[in-house]
A and B are shown apart, each in its own frame.
Chain A
């Protein structure tokens, strides 16, 4: 229907504007997109690109000033053993956290998707949503309380006469340390705790789409529950696992607060970025370091997209 023939159309400026937007739909679209595009596209992407450009500058070792000539020198510095260690350490931690999160999240997601009904369903949903949204720092703080020498975990271990087990665990090279709060085990536990809800939700979404008929068919064809799990449930849950691991992986790669508060003094990528831009004033190296997670995440996202993980988000 032609709008301008409408008898009751509003007069005045507003009416004429409404007419204009009706006749030129692209104008309204443009006006609607302009503010978010200016904000995200210009300010945010602009800042990101500026950061990227700075990673191609280098720092003069003697004066400490930034040399504004394009060079790959700073990227070469990333491959120095000390810096390479930081990258490997962070990526291994991210991989370990994602794997463990998938294992711990599976029973929760599966129970919520398959068996929980009515009130229980809501309870499970809120039971995951509340920890997901509650304060990140408070969660880290809670683990500082738990892992403290005089804290609840040590108390429990002593009560259960398991001190020998903890000592053996802490004596393990690399992952051990003087106490839980200064070892990789501690860092790992906190990462796992903080990012776990990000794994449960996409997993549950994927599992909810597994038709029960498939499971019955698998059983009718003679598969035992373990075989059904391995050959039917797991492959169908995979997009959810990958979608969840996008979060756990990316969040672990970029975090600089958890390893600073709970863990050994060895640096993670986030801490390196923070240290280089701050006191050291080496913005080019900080920028080059922050390109690492971007590149890793781009590869990860590309692979995830090929596996169809985005449908589970």
Chain B
């Protein structure tokens, strides 16, 4: 029998779905247009003319480069820490049942389940209490805390699909725990870790709410952008930077998608 619901979508639903997708994408595409506008004092639409000038202006701005390099540094270190902590946690949770296992999943998720400002304020007041000076390391500490969950989620999903008999087989064939990890477990979870690491990088590269509270004088790229948002001074440079940020975060997401595709 033909199912009445499985075949074709009603036209209204189709239109609503496509409009919804357009709503999610047009604003981002708009930034690409603004990056080329000749107007530099207002957000005038339609742009009076198009130019490539702002790309070279942005290229020659030392403050943009400094912010970019700090962001890359912070994101790389945080991703590394998150990879280690997230994998350890995922391995422990999926290889054995123990008391408090549920609590550990909750603990990992908590930093992103709670609003970012709470994580930020809590860390900031703790740094103040402990008399720790704000530096790149305080930023990293905050970022790594909420990046763990991304790696953890990816790793747990992969561990669940990796059969335990592979590990037993490796042990039966005489490999010790380290060898099993190196030759059996790691190759199995490598792409999941890579995907988790890329998402963690994108998350950290973009984070601003916790960062404004855990940074001292340092400006990461999002902090640089936030200042421009609150007090616009160099609109054309901001447009170009915004477009580059979109492109930079675009690739890790695409890669992560293809790495975890089944």
CB within 8 Å of B: which residues of A?
A: 1, 3, 6-10, 14-15, 17-19, 21-22, 25, 28-29, 32-33, 35-37, 39-41, 43-48, 50-51, 54, 104-105, 107-108, 110-112, 114-115, 124-131, 133-146, 148, 150-152, 155, 193, 196-197, 212, 215-216, 219, 225, 246, 250-251, 253-257, 260-261, 270, 273-274, 277, 283, 286-287, 290, 293-294, 297, 301
Contacts and interface: CB of A to CB of B under 8 A. Distances in A.
B14 to A, nearest CB: 7
Given A138-B246, A215-B3, 17 more contacts: A15-B176, A29-B98, A36-B104, A107-B16, A107-B19, A111-B17, A129-B257, A135-B246, A137-B229, A138-B242, A139-B27, A142-B27, A148-B42, A193-B24, A257-B209, A261-B230, A274-B117
A215 B114 CA distance: 37
A14 B199 contact: no
Contacts of B21: 108, 124, 127
B101 to A, nearest CB: 10
Interface in B18-37: 19-21, 23-25, 27-28, 30-31, 34
B209 A254 contact: yes
B100 to A, nearest CB: 9
Contacts of A136: 206, 208, 222
Contacts of B145: 39-40, 43-44
Nearest to A138: B242
Contacts of B6: 114, 212
B110, B144, B242 pick with most chain A CB within 10 angstroms:
B242
A33 B88 contact: yes
23 contacts: A1-B171, A7-B174, A29-B95, A33-B88, A36-B85, A36-B86, A37-B104, A44-B145, A104-B20, A110-B13, A134-B28, A134-B206, A134-B249, A136-B206, A146-B27, A193-B24, A196-B20, A253-B115, A254-B209, A270-B117, A277-B125, A294-B114, A297-B115
Contact of B43 (A41, A151, A260, A286): A151
Interface string B78-105: 0001001110110110011010000010
A137 B125 contact: no
B225 interface: yes
Contact of A193 (B19, B27, B34): B27
Given A142-B31, A152-B45, A254-B117, A44 B111 contact: yes
A215 B5 contact: yes
B185 to A, nearest CB: 12
Contacts of A48: 118, 122
Nearest to B113: A250
B108 interface: yes
Given A138-B246, A212-B6, A293-B115, A36 B208 contact: no
Contact of A133 (B8, B27, B253): B253
B178 to A, nearest CB: 6
Contacts of B104: 33, 36-37
Contacts of A294: 114, 118
B114 A254 contact: yes
Contacts of B43: 144-145, 148, 150-151
Given A35-B84, A136-B208, A9 B174 contact: yes
